[in-house]
Amino acid sequence: MLRDGALVAFPTETVYGLGADATSGRAVARVFAAKGRPAFNPLIVHVAGADQVAALAVMDATARDLAARFWPGPLTLVLPLREGHGLSPLVTAGLDTVAIRVPAAPLARDLLQRVGRPVAAPSANPSGRVSATRAAHVMDGLGDRVDAVLDGGPCGVGLESTILRTAPLALLRAGGLAVEEIEAALGRSLPRDMTPGKVQAPGQLSSHYAPARPLRMGVTSRDRQAVLIGFGPVSGDLSLSESGDVIEAAARLFDLLHLADSLAAEKGADRIDVAPVPETGLGRAINDRLRRAAAPRDMPQP
Ligand code: TXA
Ligand code: MG
């Protein structure tokens, strides 16, 4: 189906992706339409192995080290495009770099190997809304705008990949690979490049990952008007992790945001409250997603 230009959602260890043949302008255009995604926001290209990157992009020594250490896995590298790459220019939104990742989830690897082409895949959710970590989330959010969904069960990591640019080195998006792990591997600290006005990563639109209802962070007590998502000692209607484990919390985050919306509808609550989450390890990426989910909405709500 992918080779014929269809949109096929598939599970990676981070989140479900909405896949399309990255060499087909028509297929990639359908991805933007299905998500309602602005065309200036480029897509991540997924390949089965690091050996498939050479045809698409240029890897310097740092990129090669990071790939050897963390691929397959929840890391995306932004690399200079190679001449004759064959990708649709829509994928990169006309930039001279491309974001590439090699996912670890067996179903994704198997699919990519069989397709034998680079697959462009943003997270499989309507633009600006909560990402999908289960096949049912994809069906709920995109419905018949997707031609097929491969159901691989819930995603193990649960947060989008960490995005790094290697030349010059910068963190563009905190994600499923902890910054501490990358810094330990590189033996140096990671500069962040969040230059406003430049296309960086989803952070460019401050409202993102948004549930239907407004969200508040750092809440420690219950309120009848809200559904409380707890963490550690703060118990709520739902809990990210009763033991206060940020890895477990990452895996549950998007699922609980989806659930909190339906629970709020049942209870007649008009807000989602979330307990404080520490800013360490994956907690950094969790708080990044929550801050954007809590941000004033810069798009029309459904
Ligand atoms: O875990 C993930 O990364 C998931 C799974 C499906 O792979 N994908 C994902 O895609 O999160 P998406 O489209 O929701 O977020 C990718 C972000 C985009 O918002 C975009 O701004 C950034 O990656 N990006 C893509 N190409 C880029 C480039 N050349 N330079 C800078 N940022 C780029
Ligand atoms: Mg996304």
Q: Is 127 in the pocket of ligand 1 (CB under 6 A)?
A: no
Distance 251 CA to ligand 1 centre (A): 19
Mean of per-residue pLDDT scores for the chain:
93
Nearest atom of ligand 1 to the alpha carbon of 161:
1
For the entire predicted model, the pTM comes to: 0.93
- Distance between CA atoms of residues 1 and 8, nearest Å: 7
- As a whole number, mean pLDDT of residues 218-233 equals 97
Q: Is 42 in the pocket of ligand 1 (CB under 6 A)?
A: yes
CATH of 8-204, one of 3.90.870.10, 3.30.70.1730, 3.40.50.1970, 3.40.50.1000: 3.90.870.10
Which is it for strands 97-101 and 44-46: parallel, antiparallel or unpaired? parallel
Which CA distances in Å does 146 have to 23, 34, 117, 120, 125?
18, 7, 19, 14, 11
Q: Does the C-beta of 200 come closer than 6 Å to ligand 1?
A: yes
User: What fold is seen in the domain 215-294?
Assistant: Rossmann fold (3.40.50)
The pLDDT, as a whole number, for residue 298 is: 62
Mean pLDDT of 58-69: 97
**Structure confidence by residue, pLDDT tens digits, 232-275:** 999 999 999 999 999 999 999 999 999 999 999 999 999 999 99
Whether pLDDT at 199 is above 60: no
Task: With CA atoms as reference, report the closest residue to 123 among 4, 262, 12, 224.
Answer: 12
* Distance in Å, CA 146 to ligand 1 centroid: 19
Strand partners, 163: 76, 173
Binding-site residue positions for ATP: 37, 41, 97, 123, 131, 173, 209
List the structure tokens of 262. 């339906």
How much is the average pLDDT of 90-119?
A: 97
- Helices 179-186 + 61-70 axis angle, to 10: 120
Q: Is the CB of 163 under 6 A from ligand 1?
A: yes
CA nearest ligand 1 atom 7, residue: 17
At residue 205, the pLDDT reads 56
Query: 20 CA distance to ligand 2 centroid (A)?
Result: 15
Give the closest residue to 101 by CA, choosing from 172, 165, 47.
47
Mapped onto helix, strand or coil, the DSSP state of residue 298 is: coil
Does the model's ipTM exceed the 0.95 cut? yes
Give, as residue ranges, everything with CB less than 5 Å from ion ligand 2.
123
Same fold, 8-204 and 215-294: no
> Could you give the count of Cα atoms lying within 13 Å of 49 in the half-sphere of its Cβ?
5
CA distance 63 to 73: 14
Return the H-helix or E-strand segment holding 36: none
Whole-angstrom CA distances from 259 to 123, 126, 210, 214 are 18, 17, 13, 14
Residues flagged as binding site for L-threonine:
14, 46, 101, 121, 161
pLDDT digits (tens, 9 = 90+) for 8-36: 999 999 999 999 999 999 999 999 999 99
Q: Is 45 in the pocket of ligand 1 (CB under 6 A)?
A: no
Structure confidence at residue 107 as a pLDDT band (50, 70, 90)? very high
Ligand index nearest the alpha carbon of residue 202: 1
Distance 4 CA to ligand 2 centre (A): 24
* Contact between residue 234 and residue 241 where contact means Cβ atoms under 8 Å apart: no
Per cent of the chain over pLDDT 70 is: 94
Cα separation, 160 vs 162, in Å, equals 7
44 and 20 in contact (C-beta within 8 Å)? no
> Which residue ranges make up each domain of the chain?
8-204, 215-294
Q: Which ligand is nearest to the CA of 43?
A: 1
- pLDDT-derived band of residue 301, with 50, 70 and 90 as boundaries? very low
Structure-token pair, residue 297: 């909405």
What is the pLDDT at residue 207?
81
Ligand 1 pocket, mutate which of 160, 166, 173, 205 (most atoms under 8 A from CB):
160
Order of strands, sheet of 238-239, starting from the edge strand that comes earlier in the sequence: 215-216, 271-274, 226-230, 238-239
What percent of the chain stands above pLDDT 90?
A: 90
Q: How far is the CA of 137 from the centre of ligand 2 (A)?
A: 13
What was the pLDDT predicted at 197?
A: 44
* pLDDT bucket at 202, cuts 50 / 70 / 90: very low
> What's the pLDDT at 172?
93
Per-residue pLDDT, averaged over 162-169, amounts to 94
Q: What's the whole-number mean pLDDT along residues 63-82?
A: 98
Determine if ligand 1 sits within 6 Å of the CB of residue 43.
yes
Between helices 135-142 and 246-267, what is the axis angle to 10°?
A: 40
What is the per-residue pLDDT for 191?
85
